[in-house]
Structure 1
């Protein structure tokens, strides 16, 4: 079996990375939108911005997904910590 990298040019591989990057940004935008909606619901119900049990569940889920896909769980969790912190900052600013 041939290595896929041998069959694709460097430019094709870079184009594939660029498409994946676009998809990642789109998913971050979707996640941010949904988190904003959650913030609105929390504000309407006078709930706190931070929900530590939910954050822990997100982190655990992220680690499980990372292991399932053969990605370093610590790296994935670091990315998710950033996403959660960004959402919390936006929630606080919108109140």
Structure 2
């Protein structure tokens, strides 16, 4: 990984951002695959897509990690709540037999 202060110009900086975005997308794709697995486990166990305490645990973890990295916990919470809601909708589709 390139040290941030070693990036010489805007084209190089943009290339670093684009590469990082690709890594983030790959991580989100892995998260989606994990959610698919969670849905299969929940279906077998007859659990609902939304488990309230787990939603709050995931959001609290994201806030804590954000603060540890010097990020705005409020912003990260808002992003994570959207991410979690999308995951719940994804699980719900699986539980109802409407997998994409």
- TM-score with structure 2 setting the length: 0.86
* CA shift digits 1:21-74 (9 cap, x unpaired): 001101111111101100110001111111111111111110000000001111
- Comparing 9-18 with 75-84, greater Cα deviation is found at 75-84
Q: Report 1 or 2 for greater relative contact order, CA contacts < 8 Å, sequence distance ≥ 6.
A: 2
Question: Number of residue pairs matched?
Answer: 92
Unaligned segments of structure 2, at least 5 residues: none
The answer for the alignment partner of 1:64 in structure 2 is 64
The whole-number CA distance in structure 1 between the counterparts of 2:64 and 2:8 is: 31
**Runs of 4+ residues deviating >6 angstroms:** none
**Unmatched segments (≥5 aa) in structure 1:** none
Shift of 1:75: 1.0
**Matches of 1:32 and 1:44 in 2, distance apart?**
19
CA RMSD of aligned residues (A): 1.4
Q: Does 1:86 align with 2:86?
A: yes
Secondary structure at 2:49's aligned position in 1? coil
| Deviation, structure 1 residue 91 | 1.2
TM-score, normalized by length of structure 1? Answer: 0.90
Partner of 2:76: 76
